[in-house]
């Protein structure tokens, strides 16, 4: 008598499917590994190393996703294995996505059937496997999730999902330390770069700054201000060859930021296009972003951007609404801010909101004012008067002696300008100033009077000037001889 052996549930299901003629598929195995550089190991206790040999020549392979920073390129190896010795994996397709704090990004792979022109699904033979590489530059700080979904066909579509969470931190803090207006179409931007790994509780070493630049906005251009580079320039190629740096000098000249260290850079951002130069750079305009390319200990390359740098407002008004007497209008861009405020108010048809063009409907700024003046020597100063209001104004400019100190007006102290057109209408007038005493003085006391309404508009300080004593006769002769 033949005995009947019991059949397990899985074997019964397989036999049932085989009887129905359904193609079977093995369950795939998914392996994910991040591709990253190793680290130098430290000598073990009792090893025969000298006291100054802190690192060994051995590389330690990472045992986890490791420390990941913004600006680095995240690369991972995705492998699908068929551990079965009998059944193949049928209809294999894999989709990889990177979920950032703000969005979900599809990472293209060779195993994604949607990327294949023929949309054919793969079949993995028993004991074999397929793999793919994915990469993406990280641009956000926070928790990221690598989502991998493997689809296969085993009597119907089936999926295998795995999620890998990792945190992305910021290795460098890039801030605009200060932004200074330098004329109507130029700003000086001071960028501070700091290694903040330890502040975030992340173990990290030094970071070498490979390059730094400023990605200026449309119509603007940026140039790094470096006094050392300008002083070392030479037109003699032989002299440049002699001044080539050694390896030690090159290392010393490289900016290396240890945790907690910082370094500052200075950029000049100015209008490049004709339209931008004509309009100027006004308060609230975006100047651009600082971009830093850095390298970590094992040469891992990263690229990080700062937040947008904006043009700051002028300091014409204090918090209580009164004028700031210490504010210097020359090379400050105040007239550009007033014109921008007037254009914005005209488009919004708003009045009475205390905007800059309502507080200062007419601006006066000097044209190429001198930085120094000779004592008791009159000098001609040209002033540009601009009407920012929406109406024609009958103006008179006055330089009031009672509000001037050290440098005063010489000759007529007021000039009737007549009718000045609205919305940017302007005229130029000349005055003569003379320095009475030596020292550093602010030229002030300028008023604009509307002869129709009698309204007076007090102007801020026009410019600063240093009044110096006249040179001796011998010095004058020496200057003539040198010329």
- pLDDT tens per residue across all 483 residues of the chain: 333 333 344 444 444 444 445 567 888 999 888 887 766 655 555 555 454 444 455 555 555 666 788 988 999 999 999 988 888 988 888 899 999 999 999 998 888 866 655 445 678 899 899 989 999 999 999 999 999 999 888 878 888 899 989 889 888 999 998 888 887 788 899 999 999 887 765 556 788 898 899 999 999 999 998 866 544 544 554 454 445 666 666 666 778 888 889 999 999 999 988 888 878 888 888 999 999 999 887 778 889 999 999 988 776 544 454 555 444 445 566 777 777 777 776 666 555 555 676 778 898 988 888 989 999 999 999 999 999 888 899 999 999 999 999 999 999 999 999 999 988 889 999 999 999 999 999 898 999 999 999 999 888 888 889 998 876 644 454 444 444
Q: What is the pLDDT of residue 313?
A: 76
**What is the value of pTM for the model shown?**
0.67
What residues pair up with 150 in beta bridges, in sequence order?
Answer: 94, 160
Q: What pLDDT was estimated at residue 58?
A: 59
Measured CA to CA in angstroms, residue 79 lies from 13, 34, 70, 98, 144 at distances of 29, 11, 26, 17, 20
The closest alpha carbon to 229, from 240, 218, 220, belongs to: 240
**Cβ neighbours of 294 (radius 10 Å):** 24
Annotate 156-177 with b (16+ C-beta within 10 A) or e (fewer): eeeeeeeeeebebbbbbebebe
State residue 334's pLDDT score. Answer: 73
- The predicted pLDDT at position 385 comes to 92
Q: Strand order in 262-271's β-sheet?
A: 172-181, 186-195, 262-271, 220-224
- Beta strands 463-468 and 372-374 are parallel
Question: How many Å apart are CA 344 and CA 335, to the nearest integer?
Answer: 14
Cα–Cα distance, 64 to 130 (Å, whole number): 22
How many residues can be counted in the chain? 483
Tell me the C-alpha distance between 141 and 135, whole Å: 17
Q: Collect all residues with Cβ–Cβ distance below 8 Å to 48 and sequence separation of at least 6.
A: none
Sign of CA dihedral 61, 67, 72, 78: positive
């Amino acid at each position: 008598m033949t005995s009947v052996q019991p059949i397990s549930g899985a074997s019964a299901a397989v036999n049932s499917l085989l009887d129905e003629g359904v193609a079977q598929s093995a369950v795939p195995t998914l392996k994910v590994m991040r591709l990253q550089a190793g680290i130098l190991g430290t000598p073990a206790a009792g090893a025969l190393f000298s006291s100054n040999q802190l690192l060994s020549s051995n590389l330690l392979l990472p045992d986890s996703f490791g420390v990941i920073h913004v600006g680095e390129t995240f690369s991972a190896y995705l492998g699908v294995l068929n551990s079965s010795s009998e059944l193949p994996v049928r209809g294999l397709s894999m989709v990889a996505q990177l979920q950032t704090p703000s969005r979900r990004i599809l990472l293209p792979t060779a195993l994604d059937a949607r990327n294949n022109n023929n949309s054919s699904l793969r079949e993995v033979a028993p004991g074999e496997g397929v793999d793919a590489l994915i990469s993406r530059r990280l641009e956000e700080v926070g928790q990221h999730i690598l989502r991998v979904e493997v689809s296969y066909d085993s009597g119907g579509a089936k999926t295998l999902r795995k999620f890998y969470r990792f945190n992305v931190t910021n290795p460098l803090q890039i801030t605009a330390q200060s932004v200074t207006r330098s004329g109507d179409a130029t700003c000086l931007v001071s960028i501070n770069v700091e290694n903040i790994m330890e502040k975030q509780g992340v173990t990290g070493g030094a970071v070498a700054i490979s390059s730094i630049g400023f990605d200026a906005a449309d119509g603007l251009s940026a140039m790094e201000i470096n006094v050392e580079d300008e002083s070392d320039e030479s037109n003699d190629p032989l002299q440049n060859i002699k001044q080539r740096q050694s390896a030690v000098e090159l290392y010393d000249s490289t900016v290396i930021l240890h945790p907690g260290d910082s370094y500052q850079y200075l950029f000049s951002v100015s209008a490049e296009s004709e339209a931008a130069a004509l309009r100027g750079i006004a308060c609230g305009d975006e100047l651009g972003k600082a971009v830093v390319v850095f390298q970590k200990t094992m040469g891992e390359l990263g690229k990080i951007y700062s937040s947008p740098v904006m043009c700051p407002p002028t300091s014409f008004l204090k918090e209580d609404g009164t004028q700031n007497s210490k504010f210097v209008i020359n090379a400050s861009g105040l007239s550009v801010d007033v014109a921008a405020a007037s254009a914005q108010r005209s488009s919004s048809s708003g009045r009475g909101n205390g905007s800059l063009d309502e507080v200062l409907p007419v601006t006066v700024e000097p044209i190429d004012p001198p930085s120094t003046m000779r004592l008791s020597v009159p000098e001609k100063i040209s002033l540009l008067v601009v009407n920012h209001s929406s109406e024609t104004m009958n103006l008179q400019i006055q330089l009031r002696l009672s509000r001037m100190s050290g440098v005063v007006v010489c000759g007529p102290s007021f000039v009737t300008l007549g009718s000045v057109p609205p919305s940017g209408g302007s005229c130029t007038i000349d005055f003569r100033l003379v320095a009475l005493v030596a020292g550093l003085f602010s030229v002030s006391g300028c008023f604009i009077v509307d002869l129709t309404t009698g309204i007076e508009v007090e102007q801020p300080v026009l410019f600063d000037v240093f009044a110096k004593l006249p040179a001796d006769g011998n010095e004058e002769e020496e200057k003539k001889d040198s010329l």
